[in-house]
Amino acid sequence: MNGTLAVARREISEKAFVLIAACVLALVPFLVTIIPGVRQFDSHQVIATTAAFLSVGFAWGLAIILGATVVGRDLTERRLSFYFARPISSAAIWFGKMGASLVLVFASFTILFGPAIAVAIRAWRRSWDIDLLLFLGLVVGVSIVLLLVAHALSTMVRSRSPFVLIDFAMLIVVVLGTAAILLPLIFAFARELATFVASSVGVAFLVAMIGAGWYQVAEGRVERRQSHRAMSLALWSSMGVVLALAGLYVAWVLSAKPADFVSLHEFDQPAKGPWIVVGGQAKHRLDFRPTFLINTDDGSSQRIGGTYRLGMDAFFSGDGKTVGWVTPASLTGQRFELVLQRLTPGAKPMETGIPVRPFSELAITDDGSRVASFGETTTIWDVSQRKLLGSFRPPRERVRRWLSYFPDANHLRLIAVLADEERRLSEASRDHTIRIFEYDIARRAFTVRGETHIMARNVGINANADGSLLILRAYDATPEQPFVRVINGDTGARVVDIAEPRSGPGGVYRILSNGVLAVSQQGDHDSVVRFYTLDGTLRHELPLPGVRRMSLIGEIAPGKLLVDAYRGADLTRRDQVKFWSAMVIDSTTGNVVTRTRSGLWPISGDWYSGFSRDPRRHLLAAPPLFVDENRALVSWDPRTGARKIILPPGTARSGG
Amino acid sequence: MTNVIEVEALTVRYGKRTAVERASLAIPAGSVYALLGRNGAGKSSLVRCLLGQQKPSEGHVTLFGRDVWRDREELMQRVGIVSEEADAPPDMRVSSIAKFCARLYREWQQSAFDSRLERWEITPSARFGNLSKGQKKQVSLALALSMTPELIVLDDPTLGLDVVARKSLFEEVIGELAERGITVFLTTHDLAGIETLADRIAIMKNGRVVLEEELETLKSRFRRIRTTTAAEPEGVVTSRKWGSGAEAIVSNYDEAAAERFAAAEVAALSLEEIFIAVDGDGGVA
């Protein structure tokens, strides 16, 4: 320590003129205010701004100069022997010199910035967005980086050794290695994790540079080339170890298995087939949210790209034989493309090259052969040929929501709910237009097929299994009671309006495949499911005492509706699995035909708004999935009562 | 007598070039040891290794029985150094350099330093860079002596000194040190200066130590012999025609040789002449 202080003190006294220069320059921010033309501005603001630029420029410039000379020049001019000829350790020489340089840099900065900011602190806060402490931290951090980098570069250049080519090659290797480690995380939208890894590598690089400097002085001593070699050896081998560790860590992160989930946030299950898509947070992996394609028959899984952060979950085609997801298509993460994978043995993910905008919609034909990518311009693509089949500009204004699907491979149907804020019936109620658009791929024509109007606060929409009928539910249709309207899915012509007998916090509604309308109404203490015929006749009413929330999951057979009901007192704690139970209701009789014991929380309906963005899928060929009381993801087949664990206990918690 | 410095099979390479090749030296305590050699012979590399400033490619160096590369920091408490080139920071005042050193050495003698400066008429407030070459050497020497060294290493200490300063250095300083029993290791080109002071001599040539022995022994076995016949005596280091006869320098002159060349003109050689004979082109020890 004595040696370090002696070296530092000597270095500071040798370069004390820098502090004198800083003292002189500290007057500049104040003198600037008297320059004609500058006087018109707020003087405090001028002082703060001038001092900020001057002090930062001076500090960083000084850091570069000192870094480039503090050891390198002594080596070149053969004056490092002055220290080595005395009882001073190599560490004391290195840390003394570096410490002195940092003291000079920070002292100069303080001399330049301190008086100005003391006078103009209020102006600083007014005109600079950056917090003062953050600003100071930035100055300190960047100064240290510049000092060390300048030292390393100076050592390399001054040695005049061909070894500098190896340095250059190693620098490229480190940069590429770091990019290779970070890119999978960036592409997986694990920004927090990528930042953590990048920061760790950055800090490790700084530590490696400090360590390499010490090793350079300790091993190279007064010999220039040996000094360079020692520094490079220490720096690059340390970075090799750091990158290897970072690479292993990232590999471990990426190796997450479905069993590592601690919460789920993404889910899709096609009506047919054994495959599901599950995404969530895995153990100890910060914000890395892996998404898996899981075969519920054999338990096999495959990690796929997950872009849920862009509001774009993975999805299945109607036949359950194709799965799609979105992946970044550029290093900057600004462009995205669609990836499709056939769910056949040995099939690989296929990057389609089809551009996708974040937070936009996608629609896929039932056979997975064509895809529509929505945006300001919606494009329709043939997947196998990667060919653009057509494009159109969908309506953007006043759109509150829309549904989209391919009724067949040649037509894209778009049902938009448009709200007119100007036309209001009351404060809460405004005119909603439900307009049916269709794009004819063969004719490349975008037409309006029909529309209907509903005055309501909000309008929900759903479709029957073939899309021929749409069911609309008006929420808070003040002054009317909430009501359900069924319209023709092709023309928008009204089929029937059904007024609901009482108001409530909403419910769910389906057009079942036997033509029966199922409408649930949820109350504060109990709920009811009503079944109507298409002429509006109430056929059956099934009261569900104690049920405060319910989910119409789908049909397990035509007219057999699977419902999950919540009986808990606290509606904000619907993740309490024990209060959920499932039942199958026969819509033709209005009776419950199967009932489970409690403890099945539906993945679909409550946790997620629906299985798919395609509204037509209600008939469930595959056993639906639930979360059981042990937080395991299970499939339960109401037809047979078979229950199967898909993800082990503890994995299926609600995540965001 | 124990050795203060031991150099064993020291090799120093710079890339493909070998500066020092398997050099071995042993410097006894209390001796004045001179390492001679022409420019580029490898002396400076050897000295740097000797002071723990450079890592040998092969071999090792011990000072006071300890590895100098490993224990340099501790060993430098006992070694005073005057390096070939003045290495003190030029902006530093002489007094500041002394202050800096005073903090580092356990047995620093400020009064000795001050009195030497006074004797050499060097102003303590002068900046090191403003001093003449000779004054810089003197300041370095004063620093090296004021830390009470057990060994002093002088790397070409007379470089740049005028005749008077040179004489002063050799006679007053080194002579005094030798008298006090301090081991002196020096490299120099001033052979006349050390001729009366050095106990042992080593000569380096092309990185190798080609000669290493007591100065007295060395001087006693080298002679210049001038004969009137063209016959060349044994043990010739160099020879040339001299009038009708020959002049030869022999390296193995002894009593038997004295008898053999009784008729010839035999003269002792100065150290400089021996060095030229040994280190000149074609010379062998």
Name the one residue in this structure whose structure tokens are 């519920």: A296
Confidence of residue A612 (pLDDT cuts 50, 70, 90): very low
**Phi-psi map region of A552: left, alpha, beta (phi>0 left; psi -120 to 50 alpha):** beta
Contact check, Cβ <8 Å, A88/B91: no
Counting residues of chain A whose pLDDT is more than 70, the rounded percentage is: 93
Is residue B263 scored above 80 in pLDDT? no
Output the six-digit token pair for B162.
Answer: 């005028």
Residues of A with Cβ-Cβ distance to B104 under 8 angstroms:
2-3, 6, 86-88
Mind giving me the DSSP string for B203-233?
EEETTEEEEEEEHHHHHHH-EEEEESSSPPP
What number of CA atoms fall less than 13 Å from residue A464's CA on the CB side? 21
Identify the helix (H) or strand (E) that includes residue A76. Answer: helix A72-76
What number of other Cβ atoms are within 10 A of residue B151's Cβ?
Answer: 22
Question: What is the pLDDT at residue A160?
Answer: 85
**Phi-psi map region of A642: left, alpha, beta (phi>0 left; psi -120 to 50 alpha):** beta
Question: What is the pLDDT at residue A477?
Answer: 61
Residues of B with Cβ-Cβ distance to A225 under 8 angstroms:
14-15
How many contacts (CB atoms, under 8 Å) link A and B?
73
Residues of B with Cβ-Cβ distance to A78 under 8 angstroms:
85, 87
Of A85, A88, A90, the CB nearest to B51: A85
Average pLDDT over residues A147-168: 92
Please state which of the ranges A625-639, B127-141, B166-180 shows the lowest mean pLDDT: B166-180
CA distance B203 to chain A (A): 24
Contact check, Cβ <8 Å, A221/B54: yes
Output the six-digit token pair for A188.
Answer: 């997986």
- pLDDT top residue among A38 and B146: B146
Question: What is the pLDDT at residue A608?
Answer: 43
Contacts (Cβ under 8 Å, ≥6 apart) of B50: B5, B7, B61, B63, B68, B153, B185
Q: Distance between CA atoms of A416 and A453, rounded to whole angstroms?
A: 12
Q: Distance between CA atoms of A305 and A357, rounded to whole angstroms?
A: 16
Counting residues of chain A whose pLDDT is more than 90, the rounded percentage is: 44
Is residue A138 scored above 80 in pLDDT? yes
Is residue B281 scored above 70 in pLDDT? no
Question: What is the pLDDT at residue B233?
Answer: 64
Each residue of A518-575: pLDDT tens digit?
A: 988 887 788 889 999 999 899 999 999 999 888 888 888 889 999 888 888 888 877 7
Q: Distance between CA atoms of A65 and A151, rounded to whole angstroms?
A: 9
Question: What is the pLDDT at residue B178?
Answer: 73
Name the one residue in this structure whose structure tokens are 């050497």: B137
Of A388-402, A413-427, B79-93, B94-108, the range with the highest mean pLDDT is B94-108
Provide residues of A within 8 Å CB-CB of chain B.
Answer: 2-3, 6, 9-10, 13-14, 78-82, 84-90, 219, 221-223, 225-226
Output the six-digit token pair for A99.
Answer: 């410490």
Name the one residue in this structure whose structure tokens are 């350079």: A216
What pTM does this model have?
0.80
Of A85, A225, A226, the CB nearest to B76: A85
Each residue of A582-596: pLDDT tens digit?
A: 899 999 999 998 887
Of B14, B54, B100, the CB nearest to A6: B100
Q: Distance between CA atoms of A137 and A582, rounded to whole angstroms?
A: 57
- Which of A14, A221, A224 has the most B C-beta neighbours within 10 Å, making it the best mutation to test the interface with B? A221
Each residue of A407-445: pLDDT tens digit?
A: 899 999 988 888 876 666 666 667 888 999 999 999 999
Please state which of the ranges A210-214, A495-499, B27-31 shows the lowest mean pLDDT: A495-499
Average pLDDT over residues B21-28: 94
Output the six-digit token pair for A315.
Answer: 């999805």
Q: Distance between CA atoms of B5 and B185, rounded to whole angstroms?
A: 9
Contact check, Cβ <8 Å, B72/A84: yes
Q: Report the relative pairing of strands B236-242 and B245-250 from DSSP bridges.
A: antiparallel
ipTM reported for the complex surpasses 0.85: yes
Of A6, A79, A226, the CB nearest to B87: A79
Question: What is the pLDDT at residue A475?
Answer: 75
Provide residues of B within 8 Å CB-CB of chain A.
Answer: 14-15, 48, 51-55, 72-77, 81, 83, 85, 87-89, 91-92, 96, 100-101, 103-105
Please state which of the ranges A276-285, A577-586, B133-142, B270-279 shows the lowest mean pLDDT: B270-279
Calculate helix-pair angle for A163-187, A132-158, nearest 10 degrees.
140
Of A10, A86, A219, the CB nearest to B76: A86
Q: Distance between CA atoms of B172 and B187, rounded to whole angstroms?
A: 18
Q: Distance between CA atoms of A201 and A211, rounded to whole angstroms?
A: 15
Q: Distance between CA atoms of A578 and A628, rounded to whole angstroms?
A: 8
Is residue A502 scored above 70 in pLDDT? no
Confidence of residue A503 (pLDDT cuts 50, 70, 90): low
Identify the helix (H) or strand (E) that includes residue A194. Answer: helix A191-215
Is residue A607 scored above 50 in pLDDT? no
Question: What is the pLDDT at residue B179?
Answer: 75
Confidence of residue A656 (pLDDT cuts 50, 70, 90): very low
Question: What is the pLDDT at residue A609?
Answer: 42
CA distance A30 to chain B (A): 33
Q: Are B148 and B107 in contact (CB under 8 A)?
A: yes
Each residue of B106-142: pLDDT tens digit?
A: 999 999 999 999 988 999 999 999 998 888 988 998 9
- Which of A9, A86, A219, A229 has the most B C-beta neighbours within 10 Å, making it the best mutation to test the interface with B? A86
Confidence of residue A505 (pLDDT cuts 50, 70, 90): low
Q: Are A415 and A402 in contact (CB under 8 A)?
A: yes
CA distance A10 to chain B (A): 7
Please state which of the ranges A343-357, B47-61, B156-170, B242-256 shows the lowest mean pLDDT: B242-256
Question: What is the pLDDT at residue A627?
Answer: 87
Name the one residue in this structure whose structure tokens are 């903090």: B103
- pLDDT top residue among A470 and B256: A470
What number of CA atoms fall less than 13 Å from residue A202's CA on the CB side? 11
A52-57: long-range contacts at Cβ-Cβ below 8 A with a sequence spacing of 24 or more?
Answer: A52/A113, A52/A124, A52/A128, A52/A135, A54/A25, A54/A28, A54/A29, A54/A112, A55/A108, A55/A109, A55/A112, A55/A113, A55/A116, A55/A139, A56/A109, A56/A139
CA distance B255 to chain A (A): 47
Question: What is the pLDDT at residue A144?
Answer: 95
Contact check, Cβ <8 Å, A86/B101: yes
Q: Distance between CA atoms of A305 and A186, rounded to whole angstroms?
A: 11
Is residue A295 scored above 50 in pLDDT? yes
- pLDDT top residue among A332 and A106: A106
Residues of B with Cβ-Cβ distance to A13 under 8 angstroms:
92, 96
Please tell me which residue of chain A has the smallest CA distance to B90: A14
Is residue A127 scored above 90 in pLDDT? no
Please tell me which residue of chain B has the smallest CA distance to A161: B15
Contact check, Cβ <8 Å, A14/B52: no
Is residue A42 scored above 90 in pLDDT? no
Question: Mean pLDDT across chain B, nearest whole number?
Answer: 86
